[in-house]
Homo-oligomer: A and B are copies of this chain.
Amino acid sequence: MTERQQPRPGEAVYIISVAARLAGVHPQTLRIYERKGLIEPYRTPGGTRRYSQDDLERLATIADLTAAGVNLEGVRRILELEMENRRLRDQVGRLRRLLAEAEERIAGRPAGETVVRTVGVVRRRHLPDILRPGIERLLEG
């Protein structure tokens, strides 16, 4: 029994004829795509191209775009912009999570549920803003 039957998505396994058949294009077309900077397959030490599953997905995107009438320079730029776009979306997601977290911390657990150990006395207007809502509620309760 081998350990893995499926190659990893980034693993370069397909020679050009297989990749072309899987992508539904002419092998020469793949060479053109490479020359135009749309795709960069791994090269074996001998110099032959090897395509990964990730490459095939990229080729599917390229096929969609060219079928829609975009030429290769357009495809190249669109792929770049879409990558940047994904990066920005990720960043928005991360920032939103951080912000939600921060706001939760600000809202805090309702201070009314706990009481604070005696430490000393402070004039109410010197309370740090962050403590004020909870403290005010405690003093009223």
Contacts and interface: CB of A to CB of B under 8 A. Distances in A.
Given A102-B106, A130-B106, A74 B81 contact: no
Interface size band for A: 35 or more
Contacts of A71: 69-71, 73-74
Interface stretch (A16-24, A51-59, A84-92): A84-92
Given A98-B99, A114-B122, A117-B121, A74 B70 contact: yes
Contact of A126 (B105, B114, B134): B114
Interface of A: 65, 68-71, 73-75, 77-78, 81-82, 84-85, 88-89, 91-92, 95-96, 98-99, 102-103, 105-106, 108-109, 111, 114-122, 124, 126-131, 134-135, 138-139
